[in-house]
Structure 1
Amino acid sequence: MKIIVPMAGMGKRMRPHTLTVPKPLIPIAGKPIVQRLVEDIAKVCGDDVEEVAFIIGRSFGAAVEKSLVAIAESVGARGTITYQDEPLGTAHAILCAKESLSGPLVVAFADTLFKADFQLDSSVAGTIWVQKVEDPRPFGVVSLNEQGQITGFVEKPEQFVSDLAIIGIYYFQDGEYLRRELQYLLDNDIKDKGEFQLTNALENMKNQGTVFVPGQVTEWLDCGNKDATVFTNQRYLEYLKERGEKLVAESAIITNSVLIEPVYVGEGAIITNSVVGPHVSLGAHANVRDARLSNSIVQESATVLDVNVTNSMVGNHASVSGNPRDLSLGDYNQLRV
């Protein structure tokens, strides 16, 4: 089994947090989004994962590439890096890793997480994971027949087709077949809304007799903007608490303070005279003093002093103090009021 992870997007909706790091490396409960994604997929695959292929922007840099390879190795797989130099659509992004498109594989776009209780059924030709949504217009959607098989794919429908949104995770039994269909789109300049779309390849495969079935997750967690990411952190902390995972590092120093679970506290974090939680993630070596934090992500080596913070993201090495805030403070910034 292979996992293909397209993640070359700039993450503009997550600025300022993506000015210094790619969006998939923003932490959720102490681990980067993409690491959480790869670990969760590896758990449901059933088979051993032999390779994780990351499709990134060339500007991400050597340090990011090294961290991605380490993520692959943490699930017992080989990590490979390929580049998407132009944002030409989902089909183009996947095809950038064409050397890895062989055998059974999972394609997972790195801006989504999920909660699920299933094992991947490798006996089917393809599985497309979906979730019901109130407004399907921003998503690719599928329609089903009475047998529960997928009969159509529509990218960002302007008129109602279905409320089953594709969450960005796909299983293909035959990676070579997928590669040929993606290449066909590019060779024939077949675009939808100006881009080469994976949904067009899926439609072609379906028309050739491939039977796709929908997969259902318990919960779909989006990381598209600050508020969505803070909410995903909240839900993921609840998920980790249910699994009984240890969330507070032994090296953390907690003095005259209260933690309201679930809370993640990273290595070497310092909490003094504060109330932290619920639903707070503190990165390694974060420093919180005389503060009240809830429903927030505070990243590595950030400082929060004498302030009430909620529904917020505070970047790496940033510092904040003063009046109550709903913040989105980027790396190395300082805010004192």
Structure 2
Amino acid sequence: MVAIAIMLKAVILIGGPQKGTRFRPLSFEVPKPLFPVAGVPMIQHHIEACAQVPGMQEILLIGFYQPDEPLTRFLEAAQQEFNLPVRYLQEFAPLGTGGGLYHFRDQILAGGPEAFFVLNADVCSDFPLSAMLDAYRHQPHPFLLLGTTANRTQSLNYGCIVENPQTHEVLHYVEKPSTFVSDIINCGIYLFSPEALKPLRDVFQRNQQDGQLEDSSGLWPGAGTIRLEQDVFSALAGQGQIYVHLTDGIWSQIKSAGSALYASRLYLGQYQLTHPERLAKHTPGGPRIRGNVYIHPTAKVAPSAVLGPNVSIGEGVTVGEGVRLRESIVLHGATLQEHTCVLHTIVGWGSTVGRWARVEGTPNDPNPNDPRAHMDSESLFKDGKLLPAITILGCRVRIPAEVLILNSIVLPHKELSRSFTNQIIL
């Protein structure tokens, strides 16, 4: 049987600046979708996966960030690297997870794609897009959701899916239920047919009518806001339109800096299969590499440094003699002076850690004994106290020699003079 080449598109929902508050202070410097995870911008992982699907014609990013210089530069580089049109469509206001799809429906359907992927920017995954496409071809329906399993407690933090185990039809969908509904959760990765835009149109028209009742001017701003999960999936479940494809591959949300560090670990592990050239090799006279480590070609790393596991070192970083670095991301232009020890930390752009200083966080990993555990969407505070978590140094922070910074968040441009534990340093 000859496979028929079909024309596909992909849409990546990147949100906007009022989102990503849990990602501060890192989102002050760069839009969250461009934050480097395992050495490349977060959404580059999405684009790489989409570009590998045969028949992919165009990748559209939808969000309400201003199209600033970093975003424009990234798009130009991505177009060249993947030899595909990669365009940004800017919403006039935050339109929810489905509003942008409806607003830009003409752009999405231009050229007559047979189906289009929709991916949330703030997820980390091995993106089993070809498997989803096979499932869709076998059984075409307007909505195909990627699902994975979670434990009973954590499932309450996600969209929960009740499926028919024989047909995989979604019978019931609840976003963040208050009691246990199902251990199958929504991964925020979808494959839609062009028919999927009709229910979005129905929601838009209903919103418009509701708005006109409230506002006779017809300028009610909420009409364009559509929440895919509540307005579409919950409403259409059990009507033969929504199906789920289950994956046991890697998956995590990236809601906070702690989850970015965990996602970096997952992607570095994936590189063994997908991008072995990105992983640093142990070479004679070079630094000691333990486990999966990414080092940008422009970084200068002293031969006596010990790196890994799960370390990502950005552009122009300097790592001095005797440095010990593990489970950390070191961003563009940072300097780790001699004999510093950096564990479970994100070191911000252009920051400096002084000699013999120790900067350490506490990992908040999923339970290793529970194969269905996911990263907790951790809150920063409990009972008015900062919870121990990874340490984050904002942009251009200076840590003096011989101090200890433990479980702390340091806002940009701070010059510290002493040790800190469990503090937010404003």
Per the normalisation by structure 1, the TM-score is: 0.88
* 8 Å CA contact retained: 1:109, 1:168: yes
- Cα deviation for residue 88 of structure 1 reads 4.0
The one-character-per-residue Cα deviations of 1:174-225 (angstroms, maximum 9, x if unpaired) are: 2xx222322321221299xx96310222345556542523232412132211
2:253 aligned residue: 222
- Cα deviation for residue 335 of structure 1 reads 2.3
The one-character-per-residue Cα deviations of 1:295-326 (angstroms, maximum 9, x if unpaired) are: 11111111112321111111222222223423
Assess, with a 3 A threshold, how the Cα gap between structure 1 residues 116 and 3 changes in structure 2: closer, same or farther. Answer: closer
The reply to whether residue 8 of structure 1 matches residue 15 of structure 2 is: yes
1:105 aligned residue: 116
1:257 aligned residue: 287
Assess, with a 3 A threshold, how the Cα gap between structure 1 residues 42 and 142 changes in structure 2: closer, same or farther. Answer: farther
In 2, distance between residues paired with 1:138 and 1:203?
A: 16
- Cα deviation for residue 116 of structure 1 reads 5.6
Among 346, 349, 365, the residue aligned to 1:313 = 346
- Aligned-pair identity in percent equals 24
Among 291, 295, 301, the residue aligned to 1:271 = 301
1:132 aligned residue: 149
1:298 aligned residue: 330
- Cα deviation for residue 33 of structure 1 reads 0.9
Per the normalisation by structure 2, the TM-score is: 0.71
2:227 aligned residue: 197
Among 348, 355, 358, the residue aligned to 1:323 = 358
- Cα deviation for residue 62 of structure 1 reads 3.4
Q: In structure 2, give the amino acid aligned to 1:188.
A: R
Matches within 5 A, 1:62-81: 62-81=69-88
In 2, distance between residues paired with 1:93 and 1:231?
A: 29
* 8 Å CA contact retained: 1:255, 1:271: no
* 8 Å CA contact retained: 1:260, 1:276: yes
- Cα deviation for residue 248 of structure 1 reads 5.2
- Cα deviation for residue 115 of structure 1 reads 2.4
1:150 aligned residue: 170
Higher relative contact order (CA 8 A, sep 6+): 1
Q: In structure 1, give the amino acid aligned to 2:396.
A: Y
1:334 aligned residue: 398
**Secondary structure of the residue that 2:61 maps to in structure 1?**
strand
* 8 Å CA contact retained: 2:292, 2:310: yes
Aligned length: 330
In 1, distance between residues paired with 2:162 and 2:305?
A: 51
Moved more, 179-188 or 93-102: 93-102
Assess, with a 3 A threshold, how the Cα gap between structure 1 residues 116 and 35 changes in structure 2: closer, same or farther. Answer: closer
Q: In structure 2, give the amino acid aligned to 1:108.
A: L
When Rg is computed on C-alpha atoms for both structures, the one with the higher figure is: 2
In 1, distance between residues paired with 2:335 and 2:182?
A: 46
Assess, with a 3 A threshold, how the Cα gap between structure 1 residues 58 and 281 changes in structure 2: closer, same or farther. Answer: closer
Gaps of 5+ in 1: none
Gaps of 5+ in 2: 1-7, 211-221, 362-390, 404-426
Structure with higher strand content: 1
- Cα deviation for residue 67 of structure 1 reads 1.0
**Secondary structure of the residue that 2:309 maps to in structure 1?**
coil
